[in-house]
Structure 1
């Protein structure tokens, strides 16, 4: 394997870079991160409307959200590996181009299948976040790393919440979902231009070849798992189809592990997935992703449920979904810029534990109190605080224990498990909502929502426990 040093090895150190240029680089990476996270959620408030427009059900339309997370889970380690091989900046631009193409496809789509294809292409842009963290580690001075990584990581929650608001504003003026996707395409173009003219392609590049077989097996096992979970209520949990899906997921997982152990340059280096420090960091990431992405879909659907017809819900519009999310967006932004200082004092693990505890409280609140609009506002305040702190700390926790040369793939693996956790959350909550409906309708019961909120709350509290354990176990390392 060959290793070629560029950028810093040529005589330019991170400390010599003008502060103004570092600021522009951070701005461009944050803009790209906002667009990526925004595309993940812009479709969520439209799901109840698109059930009717596309003649499908909750389980079917949820794949518009899950498909993006699934493709992101597969693309993230693959593009991160490409970034280590060929440089991270070209792969960031590649991720943005895929987002733009997927957005344009959705902007012309008129069937569920075409939408899912477009959403899958959009979802590959999730690889941008670990690639951006790799660029930061390659270019920023050590004393600014924690803050910069925290800010970029925090854009995941901020952009997601802003996406809900933007969609609400657009949907308040038209029933057509296509303008939302034209917007993400345009924002993707702007972010790509900013990246092109501000970020530098520095760092250490490694030779070798990608692990395509590993990527195919990973995609297969995730598809089998998610199909089994999401279609369980429709096909029957004891049916041959569902049991076959779960059996396929187990078999493909076993084969995938064997391949990753034997291939010279694996898609996922298992020590970075289940190593002494990596295991707890990645488990926390999966659980936090489960709680965050699951909450987006549940909250949106619950707000739009007409209380006068089914006896619960907030009877809100698509715009109301975004308006309720404003406190969350503001607090996520606030804490994403300040969490770096907190993590610098008490460590990213303890910081993550604090954030995850707030996130758990936000879902627990809705599981108990959900009859009034102010209940949703309180929950959103807790959520913005929790995910703002948690996601910013998670970016640092994922890479602090690995060599600089492996920061891209380590961050990519952490993003992989986070998006996989989000995909599972979408499938689990869709399964619960589909299985428990009001008699004679396709509308979920209020108990189905309560159970889903409670499950997400448990996921967030488990994140806090794992992060706390990580901090205690690796104290001083």
Structure 2
């Protein structure tokens, strides 16, 4: 007796297989676009000593090439994330990639440090790409794929950062000019734009509304005041009227910003998402993570390039050495991001975040104790990549899993905002310590900075454990 019953399941499986392939295509597009955006954040780090010599300026001034990008991203991320919830996330993702290309072109054509900083600030706006991508995943992906997909996209923050330093190193091996790096960044932004435009859906709920421009501008002034005070503390004097005035301005204007956000009908940052019952711990952990990760970028690059014959420490490496030594970081981070989804499903996103943060802390402790050979830096980079690959993959999930679907973009945006703000402060603190003791920092200055960023990792781990204990659901 012939039966045709098996044909139906086979037919049913065909649309399911197509949907599965579609999910992976979209995920690859989002991850690649996120990596392109992340590359720009670390692209200049190995070049800071070279740019300092080229323009004849102090290293604290050149550090603003990194800080300006983080600062612009911190301000633009919640604004564009909110726009994504209002008008659609895909148009905002495309806008961030256009600005990334424009900023890269400005940097490539720049002839002085001022225009280079302007271009870096325009590039930094593209940081909003990551939370917009996370919001898109939550809006359009099947529930069983959400945690793993968010983990992969979140991990591109670290993967792209490591690739950026490697790319810079490869280019610098052929030329001392820093401009070609930015032409490559512009081309990568164009490719990412085409990819996102072609395959990423524009789904999700859109609720419309009005942007909180005043809140964005006031937040920018607060962050600039704080970072300028920290970065210029050594030069102006920590008790000088200028530094004390900037700290006071940051404090007063910060309080004013909170009042504004509480009163405006459609705030840039909803306080319920920033300091809500489940949001607060995710955002505090994110501040610690940003402080820990971004603060280490300039430290490690400078330490690897330090000439041991002149200063008594370092590897005497080139810009390319920085990129090559960072390869274990990239490999470990990619592997950890793919495994994080399964681990989070077993023990929860909070405890997985705590594990990753603790591993990152172990890496800093290791490097603080052993930092004289290439294997020391290879081991450090592998452990750090493993830790941040796990941590960053989970923090994105922790930030959005409890909020309504129509607020997923802004929730992720706020989480990236506080993380970037923490990174900006860390970069400024590190620059202040390294330039505080004289023209050339000592190895003790670097070790102190490593212990400081270690505190950030430990803080993130503690907050994550407390979150897990308080919210067992």
C-alpha displacement of 1:374: 1.5
In structure 2, C-alpha distance between the alignment counterparts of 1:359 and 1:254, rounded to whole Å: 33
Which residue matches 2:12?
none
User: Structure 1 runs of 4+ off > 4 angstroms?
Assistant: 14-17
Counterpart mapping for 1:184-333 below 5 A: 184-333=185-334
The change in CA–CA distance for 1:15 and 1:81 in structure 2 (over 3 A counts) is: farther
Partner residue, 1:474 = 471
- Matched position secondary structure for 1:116: helix
- Quick one: distance in 2 between partners of 1:298 and 1:195? 34
- Structure 2 equivalent of residue 460 of structure 1: 457
Q: Post-superposition shift, 1:17?
A: 7.1
- Asked if 1:418 is matched to 2:415, the reply is no
Distance 1:275 1:17, change over 3 A: farther
Deviation at 1:436, TM superposition (A): 1.8
Residue 47 (structure 1) aligns with? 48
Match of 1:6 in 2: none
How much does 1:474 deviate?
A: 0.7
Map residues 10-409 of structure 1 onto 2, 5 A cutoff. Answer: 18-409=19-410
Provide the C-alpha distance between the structure 1 equivalents of 2:447 and 2:330, rounded to a whole number of angstroms: 24
How far apart, in 2, do the equivalents of 1:401 and 1:238 lie? Answer: 44
CA-atom RMSD in angstroms: 1.1
- Tell me the number of residue pairs that the alignment of Structure 1 and Structure 2 aligns: 459
Change (3 A) 1:15 1:425: farther
Distance 2:324 2:190 in 1: 27
Question: What is the DSSP-based 3-state SS (H/G/I as helix, E as strand, rest coil) of the residue aligned with 2:205?
Answer: strand
Q: What TM-score do you get using the length of structure 2 for normalisation?
A: 0.96
- Partner Cα distance (1:371, 1:203) in 2: 51
Q: CA deviation at 1:443?
A: 1.7
State the distance in 2 between where 1:99 and 1:255 align. Answer: 31
Q: Report the CA distance between 1:137 and its aligned residue.
A: 0.9
Superimposed CA distance per residue, residues 55-94 of structure 1 (whole angstroms, 9 cap, x where no aligned partner): 1112101000000000000000000011011100000000
Deviates more, 1:199-208 or 1:68-77: 199-208
Alpha-carbon shift at residue 16 of structure 1 (Å):
9.9
Say which of 409, 430, 447 aligns to 2:444.
447
Match of 1:435 in 2: 436
| SS of the residue 1:125 aligns to | helix
Q: Deviations over 1:17-64 (max 9, x none)?
A: 722221111111011100011000010000011110121112101000
Give per-residue Cα distances to partners, 1:290-330, cap 9 Å, x unaligned: 11111111000000000001111111110000011000000
Contact 1:15 1:141 in 2 (8 A): no
User: 2: distance between equivalents of 1:473 and 1:167?
Assistant: 44
C-alpha separation between the residues in 2 aligned to 1:325 and 1:30? 20
**Structure 2 CA distance, aligned partners of 1:171 and 1:207?**
46
Corresponding residue of 1:7: none
User: Taking structure 1 as reference, are residues 82 and 446 closer, same or farther at Cα in structure 2, changes over 3 Å only?
Assistant: same
Gaps of 5+ in 2: 1-14
CA contact (8 A) 1:146 1:396 kept: yes
Distance 2:270 2:226 in 1: 22
